[in-house]
Structures are given as structure tokens and as C-alpha cells.
Structure 1
Amino acid sequence: MLKNYLRTALRNFAHNKAFSVINILGLAIGITSALVIFMIVWYEFGFDNFQKDGDRIHRVVIHAKFNGSEGYSVGLPAPLAMAMKNEVTGIEATVPVMYFQGDTKVPVQLVNTAGAETTIKKQSGVIFTNDDYFGLLGYKWLQGNVRVMDEAFTVVLTRSRALQYFGNIPLQNVVGKSITYNGDVTVTIGGVVEDLNQQTIFNASDFISYSTIAKTRFQDNFMMNVWNDWMSYSMLYVKLEKGNTVAKTELALQGLMKKYNKDANRDAANTMAFKLQPLSDIHFNRKYQAVEQRTGHKPTMYGLLAIGSFL
């Protein structure tokens, strides 16, 4: 019977070649389009799903109200990170992330393997952070270890960034080399980590030790001791200990607000509060705009799913 079906199909194809070709092409285009759509949707919904204990990772944000209008900010007062680390209990990791001011893409100067000085005019993914960053995200260390981040004027690179800067040389030969960022911050490479290689909002590749800030002009530029002002370049991530709750932590954060910024909530019409934004909410929440982070759009994804299902 199958042979008869095949013979009939071939006979119909021979008699209606143009019509058959159009049908086959239409079917192929429809299937291909549906597959592409489903891959796009799968990619967008896959952001940071791989993170271990992702349900305990949050970004600290500000929710403000001014004369009836609401505002949302990922930028925080720079001293909050240290205060939270020292004064708030139930926190497993406190991870400040700070970018260079202005254009976050900074010039990078280094000496390559041939001994020549190389300048990369605009490099993205350069941040100041601490040792907790690598534990928060589960990086694999290829050279060095997390303790190098305790030292000022130290930088850790991802494997791909080390390859970009120095070519295909043994990674142990990368450690110890110097890099100058923005023309005035010279640091020594203390380690190399494997790239995350999955969909993530954490896209930095150069990690300058947080303690470097206190020994450079960035101590003043980042307003490290100022509570009543902040910049979009200063962000903070935390990982809660097991058993701790968002409500308890937010209450403690409001205690810090009241302690260090007494003017913040004197007017009932103009208030601000520190909130914890779940990691799972970050990629699709467009209320909070962060530097060097792209947000997705859920309604668009659902629309694409509907189109793909129809195809």
C-alpha cells in the first residue's frame, strides 16, 4: 500500500510540477520559520536559568515615588555594599558591580606577546567588583584563584578576553602581565576564569579588584562615602542565605536607608525604598535599565510563540 501511495504522489507531482514545488517550498519555509522562532524564544527565556541557587540571587534596586510619579533605578549609593556586608545578616554574598563613568567602553592599553604596545579604543565589559562575584556565578578558575581579588590593582580576565588581548599563548603566561584601563589605572593580571558561555545578564570580561577603587581617583568619582546621591554605574547583587526571606532583607535595607540617609523619606509624597529584584525578573523587566545589559520583551516572545505555533 505504501508503494501505491508513493506512486500516486510521484504521478501527481509529475502532472502538477509548479504547484507541487510551491507547496513544498511553502512547507519548508513554514517549518524553518517556526524553528527559528522557537529558537529565539528559547534563547530569550533561557537567561540565567543555569545559575545554581538562582532563586536566592537578587539585584538591589530603588523604587521611588515623587509627587505621584514612580521611578525605578538600578543605580545605588556606593556605600550601601559595604554597609550591607557589615550590618545585614542572612546574606551569603554581597557583590558590588561598578562601571567606568561616562562611556562604559574604556580604552585598554597592553603590551602584546611581540613586545609592542597595543591600544583598544573602546572595550566593553570592564567592571570593578569583589571576590564574591565569582562565587555568586560559579566561575571555573583556569589560572589563579579567588584570593587574588583581595589585592588592589589586580584584574581577572575571562579566557576569551585573555585570547583577545594576548593571542593563543598558555594562560599561565598571561598571569603577571599589566593592563592600563582608561589611561590611568594600571593593574596586574592575577587570574583567568572560564567564560560562562550561556545566556546571562552578567557579561563582564575584565574584573578589576574592588579594593583598587580606594587607592585611585575613583574613591571620589564613585562617591564611595556619599549616601544621598548615586549613579547608574553603581549596582549591587546579593545572594540570600537559605532560610532568609526577601521581606526580612528589605526591612534591614530600609533600616540602612533610615540610618545613613535621614532626609530620604521625610516627605510622605516623596519616598524611596531599597527593593530586591529576583534574578529571574531582570532580563524581562524594562522598568530597570542597567548599563551594558539588554532587556527582553515578554509580550513579543509570546506573540512569536503564537506565530510559530500557527506556522
Structure 2
Amino acid sequence: MFRNHIKIAWRSLKRQPFFTFLNIFGLAVGMAGGLLISLYIYDEMNFDTMFKDADRIYRINADIKFGGKTMRSSEVGAPMAAAIKNDFPQIESVTRIRNRGSLLLRKQGTVTNTKESNVAFADSTFFKMFGIDLLVGDVNSALTEPNTLVLTKTAAEKHFGVNNALGQQLLLNNTETYTVSGVIADFPKNSMFRDHDVIMAMAGFDDSRQMSWTSHNYFTFIKLLPGADIADFQAPLQSMLETYIFPYVQNFYPGITAESFEASGNYLKYSTIA
């Protein structure tokens, strides 16, 4: 039977080569397109699922409408992390990461700078929350001290070599001296952290927005206690508007309340995403 199909296909190709080619080409394109779509869906479904306890980790988002403009932010104000950890008993841990952008790095005693394009600050709880082991260094102390940083394997090999990196010093932008306190494996390509090769300690980071509830610059992640339900966290999360946000905003807009804010057609809604 299969040989007959081959013979028929060959005869068709000889009689009508152009149309046979179009049919084969169309089938190939369709199969390739289906494969690419399947790979894309698989990649999206497995995005950031490689981390330990990924099913208990959520990012805080903010939906905002103000002055007629709407936006969705995957970053929130810096103080929210500490408030969540303090106020909600169902939360096991909280961590933040803040993009810094590009930096020039060079080893002490050298004159050649190397550009690192994706640098971030992170809390000392970052690696433990996501179950990220250090190839070199101690996960419990890697980002606890000011002016320390952790390199990915790729970055460490670029500057020192993995086994020689711990305790080495790097000069950042020719002004700041940081000590390498750890090395981690490169982040997987289907992780939101995949581009970060340098993670700097949030400790000691001098940011005027550290106390601002309305400057949304910090990716903030929560990890639920085992057995806790994220649905039970949503309403208390929104209550932070009354507890923290509007008391802070009243420093700049005396008399404003959540009710008057919403009556003007504005809103600020917090949500979580796995």
C-alpha cells in the first residue's frame, strides 16, 4: 500500500510538478507552523516553573487608572514587601528585585572596563525564595552585606573564573567597589531573570524611592506558606490602599481618600500572578 502511494505521488509530481510542489510546500509550512506554535505554548506554560515551590510563588501587579490614563505595572512600591511580610501570616517570605540597567565593571588593579547590560538589585531573600543554589558562596549570606554582588557563571568566567571569583572586588562605573559574594548558574532562557548576569545586594542601596508607595520600581514576589490559598490573600492585599497608600499620598494631596480617588474615575488595584 505504501509503495502504491509513493508511485502515485511520483506520477503526480511528473505530470504536475508545480502544483505538487505547492501542495508539499504548503503541508511543510503548515507542519512547521504548528510545531512552532506548540513550542511557544510549551515555553509559555513552563515560564518560571523551574524554580522550587513555583506553585507557591506569586508576583504582585498593579492596575492603575489616573488622570484618564490606564496602565498595568508588574512593579510596585518599595515599602510593600515589608508591609506584606509584617501584616499577612499566610506569607512565608517576600523578596524584591529592581533593575539597575547597564554598568561598567572592571577588576581591581586593571584599567579595562567590561559592560554588563542587565544588572539588578535584589533582597537577601531572593535566592532562597526561588530555591537557587550557589555554585560558589553561601546562599544564606550572599546578599546580606552592602556592596556585595553575585555573578552568574557566564559573568564570573568573564571576569575571574568561577572558582576564583569569591571575595574578588569589582569597580562599578569607576566609582563603587563591590565584593563578589557568590556565583550562580545562568538563569534558564524561559525565566524572567534570564538576562541578569549581575545581582547586587539591595542592602545599603541608596534609593530615594525606598520609602515611596507610589513609585513603582520594584518587582515584588511573595511565597505562600504550604496549604495557604492565594484567593484568601487578594482582598487583604487590596486593603493596603486604606492602610498605607492613601495615608502616604495625603502627605502630598491633603484630604484625598480612596473614596474620593475612585469617585473621580481613578483606581489602583493590586493583584497576583503566578
Deviation per CA, 1:20-50: give whole Å up to 9, x if none: 3443333333323332333334333432233
Q: Aligned match of 2:202 in 190, 193, 210?
A: 210
Gaps of 5+ in 1: 280-311
Does 1:201 pair with 2:192?
Answer: yes
Q: Which has the higher contact order (CA 8 A, sep 6+)?
A: 1
Does 1:73 pair with 2:59?
Answer: no
Describe the SS at the equivalent of 1:47. Answer: coil
What is the match of residue 146 of structure 2?
152
Gaps of 5+ in 2: 250-255
Shift of the 15–57 alpha-carbon distance from structure 1 to 2, 3 Å rule, reads: same
Does 1:118 pair with 2:102?
Answer: no
Q: Aligned match of 2:169 in 178, 186, 189?
A: 178
Native 8 Å contact 1:98 1:128 kept in 2: yes
RMSD across aligned positions (CA): 3.1
Native 8 Å contact 1:152 1:209 kept in 2: yes
Alpha-carbon distance in structure 1 between the residues aligned to 2:75 and 2:18: 61
Whichever residue aligns with residue 160 of structure 1, its letter is T
Whichever residue aligns with residue 202 of structure 1, its letter is F
Alpha-carbon distance in structure 1 between the residues aligned to 2:60 and 2:170: 31
What is the match of residue 56 of structure 2?
56
Deviation per CA, 1:115-151: give whole Å up to 9, x if none: 6433234x33311112321122222321112122222
What is the match of residue 282 of structure 1?
none
Whichever residue aligns with residue 205 of structure 1, its letter is D
What is the match of residue 253 of structure 2?
none
What is the match of residue 109 of structure 1?
105
Following TM superposition, by how much is the alpha carbon of 1:274 offset from its aligned partner in structure 2, in angstroms?
A: 6.1
Describe the SS at the equivalent of 1:233. Answer: coil
What is the match of residue 278 of structure 1?
273
Count of matched residue positions in the alignment of Structure 1 and Structure 2? 261
Describe the SS at the equivalent of 1:98. Answer: strand
Alpha-carbon distance in structure 1 between the residues aligned to 2:72 and 2:43: 26
Alpha-carbon distance in structure 2 between the residues aligned to 1:205 and 1:18: 51
What is the match of residue 225 of structure 2?
241
Alpha-carbon distance in structure 1 between the residues aligned to 2:240 and 2:25: 64
TM-score, normalised via structure 1 length = 0.70
TM-score, normalised via structure 2 length = 0.78
